[in-house]
Chains A and B, each alone.
Chain A
Amino acid sequence: MSGFADYPKLDATSLADAIVSKRTSASAVVEAALARIAALDPRLSAFHTVLGDAARARARSLDEALAKGEPTGRLHGVPFALKSNMCVEGVETNCGSKILAGYRPPYTAPFVQRLLDEGAVLVGMTHMDEFAMGSSGENSAYAAARNPWDLARTPGGSSSGSCAAVAARFVPFSLGSDTGGSVRQPAALAGIVGFKPTYGRITRYGLVAFGSSLDQVSPFTRSSRDMELVMSVISGADEHDSTCLDLAPLEPERSDSVRGLRLGVPKEYFASGLDADVRREVEAAIGKLVELGATTVPIELPHTEYAIPTYYVVATAEASSNLARYDGIRYGPRKPGDGSLQGMIAATREAGFGPEVKRRILLGTYVLSSGYYDAWYVRALKVRRLIRNDFDRAFESVDLVVCPTSPTAAFKIGEKADDPVAMYLSDVMTVPTSLAGLPAVSVPCGFVSLEGKRLPVGLQIIGPSLADARVLRAARVFESATKHQAAIYSLEGAGA
């Protein structure tokens, strides 16, 4: 290990402060990040691409700017990673798919540019389930990232690499994307903070589309204050995305208290299927919030059971259309097929897409087909509305909803790979919020023990539409009152 020795211990806020106050330098921080990645990532498989030279050069120029007394950004010198479905000009964005192997976008996503403008340093692109379709990272065409708490287990998915990179302290923060839980579920399984904002808080321009009406850029951090910081940088209006809300960037709440907050506890999330140990940890966490001054209210979200089927109609319908552009004509590897246009497109897609992506394209094509459209797609939109109504009704009497993020702790790689429905069900607690477009965070709230390994558990805190700052305040208050965040798994000592 070289560079700034304290690097793995600090969050983004502290790192930026250390650099700007010249206790260390951007170069030393970036060096530490790169050294840690080089030493440990061969076992983690978080990164597809590490941008060592570019990160070093950028750190040097940031150091020079600081030395000259130029104004510094809020993330001056802080390393970060991006999920491979985010566009940065000239950097391979393959979406975990062979069909985009070697694809280098001609433009940079505005949400990435906002981070760069605040002085953050991009160190690499991370592995993911192909086109964000999956809950374990195993659907990547390249590599399945590992969970630093137990290398035999998944860090969750689909933002597997971005999650593992933060959990393993390679970077203090990263960006993932959350369509049905792809950031919250991994955050829970790997013991870090993952936040899906209200739909429309962050521009989707430059995020490769999966389910357009559900996709949101969603950060991973190790502290809630970092989440507030990163959100205040990347959120806010953007003229390139018509679905991006015309709002100012998120402003963190000043309050340090949850006193008086009414927390809804939905009975449907504590039903069968929830692991008993996970339940115990989550209930203890809710008890802690009550100790801190919040009150709980039992609530019902009666349409919860329809969320997974609804999601797999809406998301696959949109995906079947969103993925039509991968035809081998303008970018990506091309297969000639029988030489005809249709043959070339078919052969390219046959070779380029993995089995889960094909399954979802078929599903989505089916539900949009003439004769099936009303029975599937239209009905799913109606149920989606009912699910949203459930939450609207609940938020008439509560300020936040608290529940588990995932029904189980991290599962083993290979455990659910052959059973798509079992895999789909691991998102049962995150999908309803996605369908409703609501803000929801997963914060570490305890541990369970499995086969001699300590595995993290996440508490999910859900807010009404646009109450992103309230959700993050609750997470911050909970975190500062508990010690879970301080628990760092010592990967260096891992005997995996």
Chain B
Amino acid sequence: MSPTTSAPAIGVVSKKTGVRWIPVIGLEVHCQLKTETKLFCSCRYEFGASPNTLTCPVCTAQPGALPVLNREALALAVRVAGALGADVAARTKFDRKNYFYCDLPKGYQISQYDQPFCTGGGVTLASGKRVRLVRIHLEEDAGKAIHDRGDMTLVDLNRAGVPLIESVTHADMQTSDEAYEYLTALKEILQYVGASDCDMEKGSLRCDVNVSVHPEGEGWRTKVELKNLNSFKNVKDAIEHEIERQIEAYESGDKSKFPVQETRLYDATTQTTRTMRSKEDAHDYRYFPEPDLVPFHLDPAFVEKQRSMLPELPAARRARYQSQFGLSAYDAGVLTSSRALADFFETTVKLSGNPKESANWIANGVLANLSDPAITAKSVDELPFRAHDLAELIELVANQTIHNNVGRTVLRGMFESGKSPRQIVKEQGLEQVSDEGQLESWCREALVGKDKVIADVKAGKTKAVAALMGPVMKASKGSANPQKVQEILLRIIQTEL
């Protein structure tokens, strides 16, 4: 293994010694697959369900119970492999990873050791750099041990047996930003193919990091594993801290302080790491082939079918939004940040026939409302209205039935009530009024006592009429057609006064 590229500016220059230190970073990411049932039994899984209610003889390891592979998990995993450009093995098998812990009911985890279902593939970063994958394998999740209940440890086995895919990168990254970008891209891809929620807070994505540093031009040094990283930001902070810690340790010149091969736990509150276990304490997992599950062959037709079901991936969509719809790179990025959002955008475009306005209304209006704490919906999936309604709103603005600013009010109303734009416009009388008689009466009211403005206009300063627009719009509750109002005001001043 070696870094794919080595841009000249990479690395950290020590202020103390002037040495340029090159970090080497690899990631191991576990993602829960979004299957109907667990990997080896027919239990459902739901985050936050009452403890030990989603269990059966298989996932609680009752004597005599046996695992049976969930084909849906395999299908999802194969789709992930396709999305990451990885090779799916023709033959694969499961192995047992043996260790004792209270959240591991069988005393072993069913995982994959020397024949993962997939190898290779990778993710391309914005810089064009490719982060290569060593492998992806399928395994079952453990349960959860809850330690903070007095002197008791409680065990919840709801999570035991939930399918996980573990993806392992080559040590291709050299900065915390690259690691952050890789994680973001991986998350997007997994969400796009519908394989995982990738929600670190709910534990559906977990990340361990391997970090080492070496002086530029020299060979790689001892790597340290970091665990307990609960957010992408944690991952970034922990890597930065660890790079600093290792450089300081080497520069101290004291060999007893040099980094050793070990696992360190990150503490987000102090932003430091501490030793969890050293190499000497490392488990001997005694992997051996799982005799309860026969090795299986992945039928090429099955693999091909899963690949054909892949949606267009985020990078491809971003490129297309720029070329096909003429969107900015920024807007294309915003709109493809989740598959649900991108799908919503494309449906809106299809229904409204107006890509630019669709992009504007979604990137600004819809997303602004979603991030407003006063609004119940927090994501595109939770919108109380459909793309059809948003397209209708865009149409109402485009054909001047309502003014752009009124459109924002209507959108807010859609978020609050879920009613259609037309209904809201009708109920609140927001339709732009173009009726001459009505407009004229608002205009005449507004002219009362505005002699200065009238004089200015008469003197040729037609722009002065703007001062009267506000009162008219106010009287009409925003529904007056502003262009017509201006025409009428000028006509009255110039011909009648």
Using known A-B contacts A242-B292, A341-B153, determine if residue A107 contacts B62 with beta carbons closer than 8 Å: yes
Answer whether residue A129 sits at the interface, using C-beta atoms and an 8 A cutoff. Answer: no
In the assembly, what is the distance between CA of A264 and CA of B286, in Å?
Answer: 40
| Pairwise interchain contact B67-A368, C-beta atoms closer than 8 A | no
Which of B68, B69, B106, B291 sits near A325, CB closer than 8 Å? B106
A interface footprint on B291-308 (CB within 8 Å = 1, 0 otherwise)? 111100000000000000
B98: chain A residues within 8 A (beta carbon): 320-321, 324, 368
Say yes or no: A324 contacts B107, CB within 8 Å. yes
18 pairs, A vs B, C-beta closer than 8 Å: A85-B64, A105-B57, A107-B62, A204-B64, A206-B64, A209-B292, A239-B68, A243-B292, A318-B291, A321-B288, A325-B63, A325-B106, A327-B100, A327-B102, A329-B102, A341-B102, A369-B284, A373-B288
Q: Which residues 92-126 in B have Cβ within 8 Å of A in the complex?
A: 96, 98, 100-102, 105-108
Please give me the 4 A-B residue pairs with the lowest Cβ-Cβ distance, nearest first. Answer: A324-B107, A212-B291, A368-B286, A213-B291
Cβ of A206: which chain B residues have Cβ within 8 Å of it?
A: 64-65
Residue of B nearest to A100 (CB): B63
> Shortest CB–CB separation between residue A425 and chain B, in angstroms?
25
Contacts of B108 in A (CB 8 A): 321, 324
Determine whether the beta carbon of A368 is less than 8 Å from that of B288.
yes
- Apart from A240-B68, A329-B102, what are 17 other A-B pairs with CB-CB below 8 Å? A86-B64, A95-B63, A105-B62, A105-B64, A109-B64, A206-B65, A207-B64, A241-B68, A324-B106, A324-B108, A325-B61, A325-B63, A325-B105, A330-B105, A341-B102, A341-B153, A370-B284
A405 at the interface (CB under 8 A from B): no
Please provide the chain A residues from 275 to 302 with a CB less than 8 Å away from any CB of chain B in the complex.
none
When the two chains form the complex, which single residue of B69, B100, B106 contacts A242, counting CB atoms closer than 8 Å? Answer: B69
Q: B residues within 8 A CB of A480?
A: none
Output the nearest chain B residue to A87 by Cβ-Cβ distance: B64
Query: Any chain A CB within 8 A of the CB of B455?
Result: no
Q: Which residues of B contact A370 (CB under 8 A)?
A: 284, 286
Render A69-109 as a binary contact track against B, CB cut-off 8 A, 1 for contact: 00000000000000001110000010100001001011101
- The reply to whether B69 and A103 contact each other, CB–CB distance below 8 Å, is no
Docked complex: A201-246 residues within 8 A CB-CB of B: 204-209, 212-213, 239-243
* Residue A116 lies at the interface, judged by CB distance under 8 Å to chain B: no
| B175 CB–A CB distance under 8 Å | no
Chain B interface: which size bin? Answer: 20 to 34
* Contact A242:B63 (CB < 8 A) given known A321-B107, A324-B108, A341-B101: no
> Which residues does chain B contribute within 8 Å of A207, judged by CB atoms?
64
Q: Please give me the residue from chain A that is nearest to B296 by CB atom.
A: A242
Given A95-B63, A321-B107, check contact A242 B288 (CB 8 Å).
no
Q: Is B60 an interface residue (CB 8 A)?
A: yes
Please give, as numbers and ranges, the residues of chain B lying within 8 Å of A323 by CB-CB distance.
107
Map CB proximity to B onto A240-273 as digits: 1 under 8 Å, 0 otherwise. Answer: 1111000000000000000000000000000000
How far is A205 from B62 in the complex, measured between Cα atoms in Å?
A: 11
Q: Which residues of A contact B292 (CB under 8 A)?
A: 209, 212, 241-243
Return the chain B residue nearest A212 by Cβ: B291
CB distance from B400 to the nearest CB of A (A): 64
Measured between beta carbons, the chain A residues less than 8 angstroms from B102 are 327, 329, 341
A142 interface contact, C-beta 8 A: no
Which B residue's beta carbon lies closest to that of A345? B100
Q: Is B66 an interface residue (CB 8 A)?
A: yes
In the complex, how many residues of chain A place their beta carbon closer than 8 angstroms to a beta carbon of chain B? 44
Asked if B155 is at the interface (CB within 8 A of a chain A CB), the reply is yes
How near does chain B come to A64, taking the closest CB pair, in angstroms?
Answer: 32
A113 within 8 A of partner (CB): no
Residues of chain B lying within 8 A (CB to CB) of residue A212? 291-292
A353 in the interface (beta carbon within 8 A): no
Chain B residues within an 8 Å CB radius of A327: 100, 102, 107
Tell me whether B286 and A205 are in contact (CB under 8 A): no
> What is A's interface to B at a CB cutoff of 8 Å?
85-87, 93, 95, 100, 103, 105-107, 109, 204-209, 212-213, 239-243, 317-318, 320-321, 323-325, 327, 329-331, 341-342, 345, 365, 368-370, 373, 377
Point out the residues of chain B lying under 8 angstroms from A342, CB to CB: 100
Assuming the contacts A105-B57, A327-B107, A341-B153, asked whether A365 and B62 have C-beta atoms less than 8 A apart, the reply is no
Q: Distance (Å) between the CB of B158 and the closest chain A CB?
A: 14
Residues of B within 8 A of A213 (CB): 291
**A residues in contact with B294, CB < 8 Å:** 242-243
Q: What's the nearest-Cβ distance from chain A to residue B358, in Å?
A: 49
Would you give the shortest CB distance from A360 to chain B, in whole angstroms?
Answer: 15
Q: Chain A: which residue is nearest B285 at the CB level? A: A370
- Nearest CB on A from B267, distance (A): 22
Establish whether residues A208 and B63, one from each chain, have CB atoms under 8 Å apart when the complex forms: yes
Residue numbers in A under 8 Å from B100 (CB-CB):
324, 327, 342, 345
On chain A, the residues within 8 Å of B65 by CB distance are 107, 205-206
Residues of A within 8 A of B105 (CB): 325, 329-330
> Nearest-CB distance from A41 to chain B (Å)?
25
Residue on B nearest A203 in the bound complex, by CB: B66
A308 to B107, CA, bound (A): 27
A365 to B191, CA, bound (A): 41
Give the docked Cα–Cα distance between A329 and B52 (Å).
14
Q: Which residues of chain A have C-beta atoms less than 8 A from B62's C-beta?
A: 87, 105-107, 331
Q: How far is the CA of A373 from the CA of B291 in the complex (A)?
A: 16
Tell me which of B67, B108, B155, B286 has the highest count of chain A C-beta atoms within 10 A of its own C-beta: B286
A442 → chain B closest CB, angstroms:
25
User: Chain A contacts of B63 at CB under 8 A?
Assistant: 85, 87, 93, 95, 100, 103, 105, 208-209, 325
Inside 8 A of A330's CB, which chain B residues have their CB? Answer: 60-61, 105
Residues of A within 8 A of B293 (CB): 242-243
Question: Contact at A321–B57, with CB atoms within 8 Å?
Answer: no
CA distance A392 to B106 in the complex (A): 35
CB B54 to nearest CB in A, in angstroms, measures 15
CA distance A93 to B57 in the complex (A): 14
In chain B, positions 38-84 with a C-beta closer than 8 Å to chain A are 57, 60-69
Q: Which residue of B lies closest to A239 (CB)?
A: B68
Q: How far is the CB of A331 from chain B (nearest CB, A)?
A: 8
**A residues less than 8 Å from B69 (CB atoms):** 242
B282 to A, closest residue via Cβ: A370
Residues of A with C-beta under 8 A to B287: 368
Q: Name the distance in Å between B405's Cβ and chain A's nearest Cβ.
A: 62
In the bound complex, what is the Cα–Cα distance between A321 and B64 (angstroms)? 13
Given known A341-B153, A370-B286, contact A243–B61 (CB-CB < 8 A): no
| A243 CB to nearest B CB, Å | 6
The complex places the Cα of A321 from the Cα of B68 at a distance, in Å, of: 18
Q: Which residue of A lies closest to B41 (CB)?
A: A240
Contacts of B67 in A (CB 8 A): 242
CB A256 to nearest CB in B, in angstroms, measures 37
In the bound complex, CA of A324 to CA of B286 (Å) = 12
A244 → chain B, closest Cβ, in Å?
9
Q: A324-B107, A327-B100 are in contact. Are A317 and B57 (CB under 8 A)?
A: no
Minimal Cβ-Cβ distance residue in A for B153: A341
Report how far A205 CA is from B57 CA in the complex, Å: 11
A373 to B155, CA, bound (A): 33
Given A240-B68, A321-B96, A321-B108, A377 and B101 contact (CB-CB distance below 8 Å):
no
Contact of A317 among B64, B101, B288 (CB under 8 A): B288
A302 vs B108: C-alpha distance in the bound complex, in angstroms?
A: 36
Instruction: Let me know if B107 and A325 touch, CB within 8 A.
Output: yes
Residue of A nearest to B67 (CB): A242
Bound together, the chains give a CA A242 to CA B69 distance in angstroms of 8
> Nearest residue in A to B65 (C-beta to C-beta)?
A205
